[in-house]
């Protein structure tokens, strides 16, 4: 027989003291063990438990913190969370424990748990007037869950209260962008109304939101709101520019062109609209149509100083028809306006060569010196014949609609202005508070949606196991509830909740819940698991015969299920007759 080590003997001694409720003596023995073996985490945990039972909470805290730091340092975040949760029960007023729990949950990806702990810390700082710290916590919460609308709104409002208007406006803008993506028009309306109240000098707030959407590649989301804004404010250049940009990103070139046509109806001399329309016609390879537009708008662009843009346009046309005299005329005119004499000379020489090939008259530089002079429409094809009739064939697409009704009517459809009803500031803050208060109670996964990701469910399940092992049954039940959002492990999570109820002492309630689970539709494995746990409940309640019946049913269905054989043997032995010492005298 192997002799017991000194450590084993001390552990036995400590266990005996604990069974006799002599917790002080048990604690002293565990302290002896840790002197020789300070890394014995299991024994340190036993020591912490004994210290709690004998009322030495501060000493227990020191031990629990040592354990928690060990688990955290080595990446065992679930075990660390379970340890600090025990500390939180011992010291509920110590906000630093909640902060540590928030960080540990964040590291393990348990978003809802992390936000709940951060919310406790936020409330503490807020109630004690420590605004900088409360703002810092909100910022951390936003990083944990950047898609959370309530946190963003609360952060924007708190920034505003601290006079940080730029930060507040930026957060409101990102919030509106998210709401637009989700088609949450009701909340978006409230946000826009709030912006109008606190930032009256930001009339283009909604356009900035739509611009951000387009920049992020969500042009399809933005286009509907842009058209509504244009219907109500057709003289907003920014809205026209964004609409054209959105259609370009969507690859709807015909609508790009039509947008610029309507744009020019309101702003006939706007260079951006002129250039956009000409460019859209060039993309159609419509040389004649582009030349017609240039005949109309060239002098406007030169006067406005858009020489480089105009030069680029002519170079694009030159690629379509490299021997077009009209294109060369345009390039020469741009060079003259820019004062680029060498370019003028080079282009004039090229033009004269083309004219000689086509048998036309020469043109001198002086013909281009008057900026208001418009060159005649004349193109020469590669075959050398005139293409004048092609220009007459191009007409603006007036019949093409852009889905905008320009009738002046009620602006009630505007997402950024008139649809928004005014709301009282205090009511708004109350509603924000109501939204914010749901964070700690509404179960959520890492991402929005009804289905929890498998990794999140596993994390909640593992944490539930850790809590159960440490006797934190309420916390364990909460984690199993969250893990049960994964439909594939629903039954398993319900069984685990019943296990927690049984170990917490609610035996009959656990049995009743398990009985409710025993319905057709369960797989054989699930059916055995429910009966297995119910048998444990019956045993705990002293109902041995019912427990044995269930164990036999499991054995009949699956004799290899867990430790069913050994449990049946144990049940049989416990049911055999027990003889007293007097009964055994004659044997």
Torsion of CA 60, 62, 68, 74, to 10 degrees: -140
Contacts 24+ apart (CB under 8 A), 269-278: 269/300, 269/304, 270/237, 271/300, 271/301, 271/304, 271/306, 271/309, 272/237, 272/241, 273/240, 274/300, 274/301, 275/301, 275/306, 275/309, 275/313, 276/244, 278/313
Residue with tokens 């009209």: 326
What is residue 5's predicted lDDT score, i.e. its pLDDT? Answer: 82
Please name the residues in contact with 196: beta carbons below 8 A apart, sequence gap of 6 or more: 205, 417, 420
Q: In Å, how far are 33, 39, 239, 377, 479 from 243, measured between CA atoms?
A: 75, 66, 6, 32, 48
Model pLDDT, residue 523: 87
Q: How far is CA 51 from the centre of its chain?
A: 44
Q: How many helices (H) and strands (E) does the chain have?
A: 29, 0
Dihedral sign for Cα atoms in the order 418, 423, 428, 434: negative
Asked whether 115 and 141 are in contact (CB, 8 A), the reply is yes
* pLDDT at residue 546, rounded to an integer: 87
Q: What is the pLDDT of residue 189?
A: 84
Per-residue pLDDT of the chain (587 residues; tens, 9 = 90+): 556 788 888 888 889 988 989 999 999 988 888 888 888 888 898 999 999 999 999 999 999 999 999 999 999 999 999 999 999 999 999 999 999 999 999 999 888 899 999 999 999 999 999 999 999 999 999 999 998 999 999 999 999 999 999 999 999 988 988 888 888 888 888 888 898 888 888 888 888 889 888 988 888 888 888 888 888 888 899 999 999 999 999 999 999 999 999 999 999 999 999 999 999 999 989 989 999 999 999 999 999 999 999 999 989 998 998 888 888 888 899 889 889 888 888 988 888 888 776 655 444 444 444 333 333 323 323 333 333 333 333 344 443 344 454 443 333 344 444 333 334 444 443 443 443 444 332 333 333 233 445 567 888 888 888 888 878 888 888 888 888 888 888 888 888 998 998 988 888 888 888 888 877 677 888 889 989 999 999 999 888 888 888 888 888 889 888 888 888 877 665 554 443 445 334 43
pTM: 0.60
513 phi and psi angles, rounded to 5 deg: -70, -40
Residue with token string 């202005």: 417
Question: What is the DSSP code (8-state) at residue 519?
Answer: -
List the chain domain ranges. 6-92, 287-393, 454-575
**pLDDT (0 to 100) of residue 3:** 65
Distance, CA of 494 to chain centre: 29
Give the per-residue pLDDT at 260.
93
Residues 157 and 177: their CA atoms lie apart, in Å, by: 17
| Three-state DSSP class for residue 181 | helix
Tell me how far apart the alpha carbons of residues 516 and 546 are, in angstroms, rounded to a whole number: 16
Residue at token pair 């699930």: 526
Q: Which residues contact 151 (CB under 8 A, 6 or more apart)?
A: 115, 138, 141, 142, 145, 436, 439
- C-beta atoms surrounding 75 within 10 Å: 11
What contacts 24+ positions apart, CB below 8 Å, involve 344-353?
344/368, 351/325
Distance CA 204, CA 209 (A): 9
Task: Report how far residue 67's alpha carbon sits from residue 39's, in angstroms, rounded to the nearest whole number.
Answer: 9
Which candidate, 120, 91, 90, 89, places its Cα nearest to that of 103?
Answer: 120
- Domain 454-575 sits in which CATH superfamily? Tetratricopeptide repeat domain (1.25.40.10)
**pLDDT score at 372:** 37
6-92 and 454-575 have identical folds = yes
Angle at CA of residue 48, ends 67 and 78, nearest 5°: 40
Terminus-to-terminus CA distance in the chain, angstroms? 30
Domain 6-92 in CATH 1.25.40.10: yes
Q: What share of the chain is helix, strand, coil (3-state, %, to 5)?
A: 70, 0, 30
């Amino acid at each position: 027989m192997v002799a017991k080590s000194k450590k084993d003997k001390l552990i036995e001694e400590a266990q005996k003291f604990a069974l006799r409720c002599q917790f002080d003596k048990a604690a002293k023995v565990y302290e002896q063990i840790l002197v020789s073996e300070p890394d014995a985490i299991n024994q340190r945990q036993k020591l912490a438990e004994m210290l709690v039972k004998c009322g030495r909470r501060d000493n227990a805290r020191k031990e629990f913190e040592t354990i928690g730091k060990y688990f955290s340092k080595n990446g065992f975040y679930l075990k660390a969370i379970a340890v600090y949760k025990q500390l939180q029960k011992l010291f509920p007023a110590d906000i630093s424990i909640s902060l540590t729990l928030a960080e540990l949950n964040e590291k393990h990806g348990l978003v809802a748990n992390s936000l709940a702990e951060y919310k406790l810390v936020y409330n503490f700082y807020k109630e004690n007037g420590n605004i900088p710290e409360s703002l810092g916590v909100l910022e951390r919460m936003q990083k944990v869950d950047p898609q959370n609308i309530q946190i963003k709104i609360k952060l924007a409002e708190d920034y505003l209260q601290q006079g940080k208007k730029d930060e507040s406006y930026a957060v409101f803008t990102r919030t509106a962008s998210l709401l637009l993506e989700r088609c949450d028009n009701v909340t978006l309306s409230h946000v826009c109304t709030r912006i109008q109240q606190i930032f009256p000098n930001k009339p283009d707030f909604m356009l900035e939101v739509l611009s951000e959407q387009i920049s992020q590649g969500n042009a399809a989301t933005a286009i509907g709101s842009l058209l509504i804004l244009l219907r109500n404010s057709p003289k907003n250049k920014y809205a026209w520019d964004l609409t054209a940009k959105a259609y370009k990103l969507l690859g709807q070139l015909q609508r790009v062109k039509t947008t610029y046509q309507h744009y020019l109806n309101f702003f006939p001399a706007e260079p951006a609209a002129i250039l956009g329309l000409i460019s859209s016609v060039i993309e159609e390879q419509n040389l004649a149509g582009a030349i017609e537009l240039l005949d109309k708008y060239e002098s406007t662009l030169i006067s406005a100083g858009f020489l480089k843009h105009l030069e680029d346009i002519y170079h694009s046309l030159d690629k379509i028809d490299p021997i077009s005299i009209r294109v060369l005329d345009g390039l020469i005119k741009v060079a003259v306006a820019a004062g680029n004499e060498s370019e003028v000379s080079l282009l004039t020489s090229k033009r004269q060569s083309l004219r000689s090939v086509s048998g036309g008259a020469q043109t001198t530089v002086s013909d281009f010196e008057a900026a208001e002079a418009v060159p005649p429409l004349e193109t020469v094809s590669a075959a050398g014949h005139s293409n004048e009739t092609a220009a007459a064939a191009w007409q603006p697409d007036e019949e093409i609609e852009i889905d905008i009704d320009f009738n002046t009517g009620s602006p009630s459809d505007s997402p950024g202005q008139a649809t928004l009803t005014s709301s009282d500031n205090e009511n708004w803050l109350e509603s924000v508070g109501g939204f914010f208060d749901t964070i700690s109670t509404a179960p959520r996964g890492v991402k929005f949606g009804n289905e929890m990701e498998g990794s999140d469910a596993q994390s909640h399940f593992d944490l539930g196991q850790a809590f159960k092992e440490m006797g934190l049954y309420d916390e364990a039940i909460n984690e199993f509830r969250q893990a049960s959002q994964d439909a594939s492990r629903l039954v398993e999570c319900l069984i685990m909740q019943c296990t927690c109820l049984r170990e917490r002492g609610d035996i009959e309630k656990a049995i009743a819940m398990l009985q409710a689970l025993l319905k057709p539709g369960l797989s054989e494995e699930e059916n055995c698991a429910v009966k297995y746990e119910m048998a444990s409940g019956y045993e705990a309640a002293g109902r041995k015969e019912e427990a044995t019946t269930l164990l036999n049913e499991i054995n009949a269905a699956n004799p290899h299920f867990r430790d069913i054989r050994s449990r049946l043997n144990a049940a049989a032995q416990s049911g055999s007759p027990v003889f007293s010492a007097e009964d055994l005298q004659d044997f």
